[in-house]
Structure 1
Amino acid sequence: MQTGLDVLHTTDWDRTLHAYGASGDAPGRLSGLLADDPDTLTRSLDYLYSAMLHQGTLYPATVPTVLFVAGLLERPGAGRPHPDAGAGPEPLRAALLGFLRDTAESADTGESDAALAERARLSPAERDRVVEAVLADDEDAWEEPALEALTWQVVVDLRAAAPVLRDAVQPLLTCQDALLRSRAVEAAAAIAALGGLDLDLSGAADMAETRDEAAVIVLAKGEAGGDTSEFLTHTDPAIRACAALAPALSTNTEATRVLVESLDDPWEADRWFGTRPAAFGGHVRFTLVRTLAERAGPGDAERLLPVHRRMAALSSAYTAEADCGPLLELAFARAPGDGVPDEPTAVQRAYLRALLDNDEIWSGTVANFSVRLKSLGLPMDREGVRELVGP
């Protein structure tokens, strides 16, 4: 399977699609990743996410793009700083590894090979028809059911490419740069999970020097389906929490206890890392509380009330959805079609009082938290919540 410049030159880009239709512009835009001009490089990096992985969506042109990017990792120029790195001298290689990781995560649907093949079933004639419709700017083409089969074929193709992507990333697992090692570990874990491949992080683990690196390795092992229970008793609370996040430990009571413990001081959890592992996305506390809520049931709402109170106390209008939404959903869990009881329970009132006690949560109107309140049948404004809680 070709990678790097070979892919750029041999792919029939005019006959494949990205987020905006025909991908005939891809060779010119992607070759900007080889440029020394900062503006050109920035536009090419933006192009990866705007055209080839738009809001996490995959397209037929994503496959050759990923293979092209994988082939750039070994080029000397990929070690130079890139203009989107902010204050730090983050190399271009780190950004490319991030794109490989994000693409692999988007493609990891959890479907079996047989299920994927069935979803991607499409005759050559039907494929040509829908591609022609998109290329002709037919507005209805994007609603074609056949286009969904094309998207599933992308997942099939990316899964098939996983061994090649793994081989491209593997040498960087033991490179001298700590940041690159971490980015390579994250990409390798996502690729292994996508392709059902073995993940060997022993070399990276031997070279790990900081809490940040150790956390990335533990998170990667969990993401790839590994058992991280041995780290639940680690002396470092950050490492314990990263181990507890592993999907394989979703029913492990000790892992749940560790997650609760990690939220004894949510602010402190947010300060654990100098360079936050990609697995967290936003604030560390967001992932911890969301995972905790996903593993709990309605009967756990009272037990987790102290966690909710701590989250609500530090929240704001801009973070309330991520801080308070998951456990609020747990406290007001109900059968489909049921509304909020006329008389909230004592526990439900306590959850709402925790929100009322923080002025910052109500200092502005942010749609996502209001939508969450509405979805639970709750008033969307502070006065309405106060009236529901009562004296």
Structure 2
Amino acid sequence: MDTRADTLRSTDWSRTFHAHGPATDAPEVLAGLLSAKGEERAEALAYLNGVILHQGTVYPATPPAALFVAGLLADPVGDLPVSDPLGGSAGAPSDPLRPHLLGFLADVARAVTEVSAGRSLAHMIELADPGEQRDELDALLTRMARGDTEWDEGLWEDPLLDTVFHAALRDLHLAAPALLGAVRPLLTHADGRVRQQAVTASGALSRLGEGPEVDLSGAADLAENRDQGAAIVLALVEGGGDTSAFLTHPDQAIRACAALSEHLEDDPVALGELRTALADPSAADSWFQDRPGFFPGHVRSSLVDALVARSGPGDAADLLPVFRALAGVASVFTSESDLAGLLRLAMGVTEETTVSGVVSPTDLQRAYLRAVADNDRLWSTGVAGLSPVLHGLGLPSDREALAALAANP
């Protein structure tokens, strides 16, 4: 596939759209990535992360944009500075453009993986085929390009749009080898920041292709710090590689990252690493100076997700210290991601079971409830972080009532 800059000219953008409508503006805005003006590069980068890829959704305009971005990775423009449009961990204002472009490709790959999980490429190709409705699909894309529908609700409810979105997923899967080919030379780039982002992008993109495992040995030989080492382990996690050897690494952060591998779901050593790491969730959140892109937010959130997925109600006693530690750092804004999964397990709820109410909690369950009731950070005025979860478990969402239930045997 073509990953050169002339993708802007060779693509019929009128047949695509993005989060804000027809993508006929893409050539002009994306050309800003090649601009000598920093504000134009920043505007184009914001367009990539907020319009071409919007809140984890890929659009028909995403595949050609991703190929264009991949074609810029070797361009000298990648050395020019640009501000981070998201203001997050993707980089400081003085960072060069190249790491941001790699971050965009990694985010696209993860979005595709999440939506197309469990589907083979052959199945996606089938879903993207309009069959006898090819003419109707052509008419729909023409209407979109004209913008005469004003992007009303009726247009978004057209079942043919499913075919269009499936085609975007298909195209990105098919583009994975070309995207990986553009990223691979950067695995041994002189700039450690670029290497780390290239490793992260390689791990995410490798899940889209059906080729061999990405060789990260060159990047491993050049790894200079924990952040870069963890990025390599996490790339193996994403790509389905074997991380078991890292469970004995001297660095706890590296061990915990290795434990996140789906292949270690039944490994007691990996489970123990997750529990140990979450015994001090604040320390886990501060492991990295430049947090690997694998983690969308707090490091502890990914550790909690893995721990909950590998545990059951029978593990509640062993998980109580972890729950108490998390309750001590959680807030009304993070309480659901920090505590909901473990609380449901403690109350005996799994994906296969539900409860209508807990009338007489056990001593162990009351210990969990006390950890919630006693934490002021979970009960800020006007914000009830765990109230929906408590309500769903048949528990009182009023603090005094919950404390009373937790206190009485």
Normalising by structure 1, we get a TM-score of 0.95
CA distance in 1, matches of 2:173, 2:256: 30
Give the equivalent residue in structure 2 for 1:94: 99
Give the one of 178, 183, 187 matched to 1:169.
183
> Which amino acid in structure 2 is aligned with residue 275 of structure 1?
D
Match of 1:131 in 2: 141
Residue 303 of structure 1: CA displacement?
A: 1.6
Deviates more, 1:95-104 or 1:288-297: 288-297
Match of 2:12 in 1: 12
CA distance in 2: counterparts of 1:51 and 1:224, whole angstroms:
27
Match of 2:374 in 1: 357
Label 1:307 to 1:360 Cα distance change in 2 as closer, same or farther (>3 A). Answer: same
- Larger deviation: 16-25 or 236-245? 16-25
Is 1:216 aligned to 2:269, yes or no? no
- Over residues 269-293 of structure 1, what are the superposed CA-to-partner deviations in whole Å (9 max), with x where a residue is unaligned? 1221111111122121121122101
Task: Classify 1:162/1:204 alpha carbon distance in 2 versus 1 (closer, same or farther; 3 Å).
Answer: same
The alignment-based identity, stated in percent, is 47
How many Å separate the matches in 2 of 1:257 and 1:206? 29
Q: Cα distance 1:365–1:225, how it changes in 2: closer, same or farther (>3 A)? A: farther
- 1:17 to 1:368, Cα distance in 2 relative to 1, 3 A: farther
SS of the residue aligned with 2:176?
A: helix
1:337 is displaced (CA, Å) by 5.5
Return 136-145 or 326-335, whichever deviates more.
Answer: 326-335
Residue 263, structure 1, aligned to residue 263, structure 2: no
Asked if 1:104 corresponds to 2:86, the answer is no
CA distance change for structure 1 residues 157 and 289 in 2, over 3 Å: closer, same or farther?
same
Of the structure 1 ranges 348-357 and 176-185, higher mean CA displacement relative to structure 2 is found in 348-357
Q: Distance in 1 between matches of 2:157 and 2:273?
A: 45
Checking the alignment, whether the CA contact within 8 Å between 1:13 and 1:61 is kept in structure 2 is yes
Count of aligned residue pairs for this structure pair = 391
1:1-391 equivalences under 5 Å are: 1-84=1-84, 87=92, 89-108=94-113, 109-110=116-117, 111-123=119-131, 124-135=134-145, 136-137=148-149, 139=152, 140-197=154-211, 198-334=213-349, 338-366=355-383, 369-391=386-408
Letter in 2 for 1:244: A
1:119 partner letter = L
Instruction: String of CA shifts for 1:347-389, please: whole Å, max 9, x gaps.
Output: 2211110111211211244465333333333333312322332
* Greater length-normalized contact order (CA 8 Å, ≥ 6 residues apart): 2
Tell me the SS of whatever aligns to 1:68: helix
SS at match of 2:60: coil
CA RMSD of aligned residues (A): 1.8
**Residue 87 to residue 195, structure 1, CA distance change in 2 (3 Å):** closer
Using the TM superposition, give the Cα deviation of residue 88 of structure 1 relative to its aligned residue in structure 2, in angstroms.
5.5
Does structure 2 conserve the Cα–Cα contact (< 8 Å) formed by 1:317 and 1:364? no
How many Å separate the matches in 2 of 1:245 and 1:340?
33
**Cα contact 2:378–2:384 (8 A) shared by 1:** no
Structure 1: gaps of 5 or more residues: none
Specify the code of the residue in structure 2 equivalent to 1:209.
E
Contact residue 79 and residue 97 of structure 2 kept, 8 A: yes
The Cα shift of 1:68 comes to 0.5
Amino acid at match of 2:80: R
User: Counterpart amino acid of 1:350?
Assistant: A
The gaps in structure 2 that reach 5 residues or longer are none
Aligned CA distance change for structure 1 residues 366 and 103 (closer, same or farther; 3 Å): farther
* Distance across 2 between alignment mates of 1:24 and 1:290: 40
CA distance in structure 2 between the partners assigned to 1:130 and 1:264 by the alignment: 54
Aligned partner of residue 278 in structure 1, secondary structure: coil
CA–CA distance in 2 between the matches of 1:364 and 1:195?
A: 49
Q: Output the CA distance in 1 between the equivalents of 2:287 and 2:172.
A: 34
1:313/1:357 contact within 8 Å kept: no
Alpha-carbon shift at residue 73 of structure 1 (Å) = 0.7
Which 4+ stretches in 1 moved above 4 angstroms?
85-88
Q: For the Cα contact (< 8 Å) 1:101–1:188, is it kept in 2?
A: yes
